[in-house]
Structure 1
Amino acid sequence: MTNRQRRFRPTQTRQVRIAMAAVVLAATGALTVTFVSGGGNGTADAATNLAQFVAIEDVRPNVSNPKPTVGAATGRFTVDCGTNENGKFSPDNPVAQPGVKNGAEHVHDFVGNLAITADSSNADLAASGTTCKNGDRSSYFWPVVRIDRTVRSGDRVAQALARTQPMIVCPSVRDRLPAVPLRVRDTVDRRLAELDRLNAQAGRRMTASRGRVDAALNRQVLDALRTRRAIVIKNISNALRSAGTARPAGLVSLVDCDVSYDGMHASMHGPSHAASATADRVANPRLRCPTVRGRLPGVPAPAVAEVNRNLDELDRQISEATERIATSRGQGGPNFVDNAIVGPLTAKRIAVLDRIGIAIGRHTARPQGLEALAACTVDQAAGDPGPTTPGSAPSPTASALPEPQGPDFELPGNTGGIVRPAQVLIEYRGNPVSKVVPMPRFLRALTGDAKPTSRGPANARPSWTCSGFADRLADKYPICPVGSQVQRVHDFPGCWDGRNIDSDNHRSHVAFTDPATGACPQGFRAIPQLRITISYDIPRDVQEKGQYALDSFPEENHNPFSDHDDFINVNSTRTMKHIVTCINKGRDCS
């Protein structure tokens, strides 16, 4: 670690930090890498160091809860979903980056839904098993915390960034579409090509910030791209509807893109534990299957419904296999997953792909080569480091984001053993001024921001504290008194627009309550407000030496202010009604 001799400084309030960020933005027009919002030491090198840590006693109380008024909903409903004992870790982010493999570039803990991947449909989520004791199939996930006792090079991030060209990474619309009727295939293809052109144009604009982080430029490029992609994606949806098919669900989730500094990984190979043959495996292998939706030709109208049923069946097969990998942990020896799960899955896919070919072939030329899309594999990250060596560089392309390696799912810059939570408390809470209404099923929500450096700090939230200090939250890593646990407290938005389960930026369909009154913004309704508290038993010497850190995007380099959490509501209608009734009646339920 760097700068180990620095003195601890009391954490400033979030309002002061955001005000400082605003001054920098106003003065420079850009948030460059020389400023790390919130956490970190305010320099280009936000590598884990003592300036990112604070004794919790030095943090001023800053948490206030509005007093309930007449008509308030004061109850609480808790859910026990465990602490990821199944080893479901993934660098996917199904909420913020749907369809993008390894899109997070860091690893998440997942509890709840067992089948979820970056590609899961709502139907697959609803059919999944769960780790939650009450049957809640929702997915809750957050970045892992690691302990790494090795010394990190303080200038490694700046050096890697200096050689990096930022890229635009967007979810693939092509690979998420249903069967495209033959008569609108050309129209849809033109729109898809238009998306490709927009993405390429945005990527060329990013050359202006080569070797540095420019948050103002990033926001400008992404906002403009989002607006134009939304129009094109809506046109694709309208074209499909004009051909008599149902409007595809979930396309709004594919509008938003991101700026990727993935190229930094090639220059950030450092101490890694991935090659340890004797290390215990904490992570299960992940399933990889070729996409089929994006490879189909135009489908004759009489075959569309049948082809769509088979495409959905392919999705279900992957979800079932993913869930089985999670629930069969430790069974059957080293070849169990290949022999008992992947092999049978490939055979099932061959049969379904054959049915798709037959359905299309009844009305036009049968597509050739579909059988080549049948074979699935599992990655090597669950214990076998595979062919990747410290000298090999991951390809800096959007289609080849780096794969995690070894028993702890390590990535360059995100190394060390994963700390398993001692406890995860999931609570649905009320509202101090009104009753709550049910969350819609499949609502997506997130809290915090994984990229306060490269996108600006507006959505970042302090989340760090210690058990026994519920009156304060820090945007630095806490050093806790003896006997106190390190904690992360993630409060989700408690208001909903009453219509949408997602939005083109994954945020505007939900909102936080007024911090002073607890009221929702005009046009929004109070919903059960989700809070997730994650507790860790981290040795005191590790805290004092600054040796634990959050997994993060490479440009954030463990910035504690980049903490975040994601959620998809898959509670049944009946369970959500029970949650709402409990909260509105002021009860404490589970």
Structure 2
Amino acid sequence: MGRTSRKRRSTLATRMTIASAALLLGGGGLVAVNVYASAHEDSAEGQGAGSGTQTQQTQQVATIDCPDVGTQLSDVPDGARDEVDGELATLDSQVTQAYQRLAASRDAAARDPRFVQNSILDPLKKNRSAILDRIRLEMERRGGQAPDGMNDMAECTAQPPKDQPPQEQPGGDGSQPSPSSSSGDGGQQPGNGGQQPGNGGQAGNGPVAADFADITKVQPNVQKPRNGRGASTGTFTTRCGVNDNKKFNTDNIIVAPGVANGAHHLHDYVGNQDNDAFSSNDDLANADTSCRNQKDRSTYYWPVLRVQDGSQDFDADKDGGGKEGNVGKILQAEKAQIKFVGNPRGKVVAMPRFLRIITGDAKAFTNGTANANAHWSCTGFEDRQLTDKYPLCPDGSKVVRSFAFQSCWDGQNIDSANHRTHVAFADGNGNCPANFKAIPQLTMRLVYDVQAPTIENGQVKNPFAVDGFPEQLHKPITDHDDFINVFDDAEMKRVANCLNRGDRCS
């Protein structure tokens, strides 16, 4: 199904392209770097700026860690939000370009311990400072006030690798290869499944062997709250397919409206068929949908999963794809199950139309786990979930990605400045925060038929990985999912009533 309208690129997006081009930090494809950091750690990994040391500025730098400005902007005047969102997207582009320069400059970093600081981090700080100044001025012009300490968020740090596995030279003597021993073709070498020895991932930016875990060795860890007397125990299932229409883009209408390639990675879409960075609410309301229920024009989208088997897909030379380290064959989910469930403590109210919810954090590797909500498992083992590891499934078992969205709403807003604070998770007993209302909880389950990668001598061959920002190193903890409610109002009330009555509806 095609789009119902064609929209011009906004002047904001054009200005943003010019602004991001001002930080020209390297060209060409990504080159392999040493990336052995493990996600979900409580050390300096994933912390904010200001913790860097001189010893980190070497060829052993794994990635760049920048404060996530957007999460701190919880109170942006309505009239400033479009401009601010655009500037935040420019910050993302700057970090991506800086990481690309880092990946392409390992030899220079090996020769000069100050190279990363002088040639990458200092120019990045200067460019970020200019954007932060523009954000502050735009907020003040509209009667708002920037948060204290925003100037400090210009500084980024270089993060070192952790848990480096042994590397084996082609000669098999077990010695460490020099930092300059990789090929210049984005980490792809013939005859080894597209893997770059010792660096992880087909594009040299992950994943690594430490990012995988045998699901059969994980203890059951799923706990659900008990239903109270007034619980809303029903379910409502909507069937929207698995993206057979091959609707992809690297936009993010929620976080970066009006900005092409605002996500820097490719999304699968089901449901609404007119979802790109320039879609208005009216566009969404009038679009076609892949859902059987034509009263559900909601948009459901998530980063694609790829297998890095040495092959390339249609976006190998495109922004958000191979140009930004997202490489390999795109996997289509075998199942994409979408279900709304109730609240264990009481009744739910209907979601407002055009409510936007993001669950998980695409930057959780560097941001830390505050907003992380990744769940990885295997069919037959779904009583055990992994957050910071991809599952190695046994024969006959398939990879499962699952999501449980925020189920409490502030009762007023369909979005918030940081796209977080208008919704919240219920606590462990199912209670919403004060002044929040329980709404139908969106749950999703994606099933993939993908062969388990093999791990030999600390190296992973033919891994699968979720698309993401290149500096996030394809870590499993960065998995996330996005939703905009475009149910017909009457139909959404039917969803809520179904849950409240305890029925099973579709």
TM-score with structure 1 setting the length: 0.52
Cα contact 2:46–2:368 (8 A) shared by 1: no
Aligned residue number for residue 11 of structure 2 = none
> Which residue of structure 1 lines up, in the alignment, with residue 422 of structure 2?
509
Q: 1:138 aligns with which of 295, 298, 301?
A: 298
What corresponds to 1:89 in structure 2?
248
Q: Equivalences for 1:58-137 in 2 at 5 Å? A: 58-135=217-294, 136-137=296-297
Secondary structure of the residue aligned to 1:74 is coil
For 2:432, the aligned partner's letter is C
Deviation by residue 1:378-406 (Cα, 9 ceiling, x = unmatched): xxx6xxx8xx6xxxxxxxxxxxxx635xx
Q: 1:535 aligns with which of 442, 447, 452?
A: 447
Change (3 A) 1:495 1:81: same
1:555 partner letter: E
Corresponding letter in the other structure for 2:252: N
Cα distance, 1:454 vs structure 2:
3.6
- Counterparts of 1:255-334 in structure 2 under 5 Å? 273=312
- Write the letter of the residue equivalent to 2:416: S
Counterpart of 2:436 in structure 1 is 524
CA 403–412 in structure 1, closer or farther in 2 if over 3 Å, else same: closer
Structure 2 residue aligned with 1:489: 402
Instruction: State the Cα distance separating 1:119 from its structure 2 match.
Output: 1.1
* Bigger-Rg structure (1/2): 1
Report what 2:83 is aligned to: none
Q: CA RMSD in A?
A: 3.2
1:24–1:133: structure 2 CA closer, same or farther, 3 Å change rule?
Answer: closer
Deviation at 1:412, TM superposition (A): 3.6
Which residue number corresponds to residue 473 of structure 1? 385
Q: Which amino acid aligns with 2:412?
A: R
Amino acid in structure 2 at the alignment position of 1:119: F
**How far did residue 483 of structure 1 move?**
1.3
Deviation at 1:55, TM superposition (A): 0.6
Going from structure 1 to structure 2, the CA distance change for 1:487 and 1:127 (only over 3 Å counts) comes to same
Higher relative contact order structure (alpha carbons within 8 Å, sequence separation ≥ 6): 1
| Whole-angstrom CA distance in 2 between matches of 1:573 and 1:487 | 32
Match of 2:485 among 548, 560, 569: 569
Is the CA contact (8 Å cut-off) linking 1:34 and 1:44 kept in structure 2? no
**Identical-pair percentage:** 45
Task: Report the residue type matching 2:211 in the other structure.
Answer: Q
Aligned partner of 1:349 in structure 2 is none
The one-character-per-residue Cα deviations of 1:332-374 (angstroms, maximum 9, x if unpaired) are xxxxxxxxxxxxxxxxxxxxxxxxxxxxxxxxxxxxxxxxxxx
Shift of residue 456 of structure 1?
Answer: 3.0
User: Aligned partners of 2:256 and 2:416: how far apart in 1?
Assistant: 13
Aligned-partner SS, 1:116: coil
Contact 1:40 1:559 in 2 (8 A): no
Instruction: Tell me if 1:458 matches 2:370.
Output: yes
Tell me which amino acid in the other structure corresponds to 1:559: K
Counterparts of 1:582 and 1:26, CA distance in 2? 44
CA distance in 2 between partners of 1:60 and 1:35 (Å): 31
Q: Which residue of 2 aligns with 1:148?
A: 308
Alignment match, 2:212: 53
| Partner residue, 2:23 | none
The one-letter amino acid paired with 1:144 is V
CA distance in 2, matches of 1:75, 1:423: 22
Structure 2 distance, partners of 1:463, 1:24, is: 19
Structure 1 residues 26 and 79: CA distance shift in structure 2, 3 A: closer
Q: Distance in 1 between matches of 2:45 and 2:252?
A: 32
- The correspondence of residues 576-587 of structure 1 with structure 2, limited to 5 A, is 576-587=492-503
How many angstroms does 1:96 deviate by? 1.6
Q: Against the structure 1 CA distance between its residues 501 and 40, is the aligned structure 2 distance closer, same or farther, given a 3 Å change threshold?
A: farther
Give the distance between the partners of 2:208 and 2:405, measured in 1 at CA: 29
3-state secondary structure, aligned to 2:472: coil
Structure 2 CA distance for partners of 1:33 and 1:453, relative to 1, 3 Å:
farther
For residues 24-83 of structure 1, give each alpha carbon's deviation from its aligned partner in whole angstroms, at most 9, with x where no partner exists: 84997476553689x999x99761121110011222322210000010011111111000
TM-score by length of 2: 0.60
The aligned amino acid for 1:273 is: Q
- Structure with the higher helix share, 1 or 2: 1
Identify the residue that residue 159 of structure 2 maps to in structure 1.
Answer: 34
Q: State the partner residue of 1:422.
A: 334
Secondary structure of 2:470 counterpart: coil
- Aligned partner of residue 483 in structure 2, secondary structure: strand
Instruction: Judge conservation of contact 1:36–1:44 (CA < 8 Å) in 2.
Output: no
Q: Say if 2:47 and 2:366, in contact at 8 Å, map to a contact too.
A: no
Alignment partner, residue 146 of structure 2: none
Alpha carbons 1:54, 1:476 under 8 Å: kept: yes
The aligned counterpart of 1:333 is none
Rounded Cα–Cα distance in structure 1 between residues aligned with 2:237 and 2:322: 32
Given that 1:429 and 1:583 are in contact with CA atoms closer than 8 Å, whether structure 2 keeps it comes out as yes
Q: What is the CA distance between 1:470 and its match in structure 2?
A: 2.2
Which digits, 9 at most, give the CA deviation of each residue in 1:205-246, with x for residues without a partner? Answer: xxxxxxxxxxxxxxxxxxxxxxxxxxxxxxxxxxxxxxxxxx
Task: Return closer, same or farther for 1:457/1:126 CA change in 2, 3 Å cut-off.
Answer: same
Long gaps (5+) in structure 1 = 151-271, 275-280, 282-380, 389-401
Kindly provide the CA deviation profile for residues 464-483 of structure 1, in whole angstroms up to 9, marking residues without a partner as x: 11112222221211011211
Q: Secondary structure at the match of 1:93?
A: coil
Q: Which ranges of structure 2 fall in alignment gaps of 5 or more residues?
A: 1-30, 53-64, 66-156, 166-197
Deviation at 1:87, TM superposition (A): 0.4
Partner of residue 329, structure 1:
none
Change (3 A) 1:35 1:562: farther
Contact 2:324 2:469 in 1 (8 A): no
Secondary structure in 2 matching 1:84: coil
Q: Tell me the alpha carbon deviations over residues 403-438 of structure 1, each in whole angstroms, 9 at most, x when there is no partner.
A: 35xxxx544411111001000000101100010000
Structure 2 CA distance for aligned equivalents of residues 478 and 446 of structure 1 = 23
Task: Give the distance between the partners of 1:36 and 1:60, measured in 2 at CA.
Answer: 28
Letter of the 2:303 partner, please give it.
P
Structure 2 residue corresponding to 1:559, chosen from 459, 462, 475 = 475
Identify if the C-alpha distance between structure 1 residues 563 and 144 changes in structure 2 by more than 3 Å, giving closer, same or farther. same
Report what 2:466 is aligned to.
550
Q: Runs ≥4 in structure 1, deviation > 6 angstroms?
A: none
SS in 2 for 1:73: coil
Q: How many residues align?
A: 329
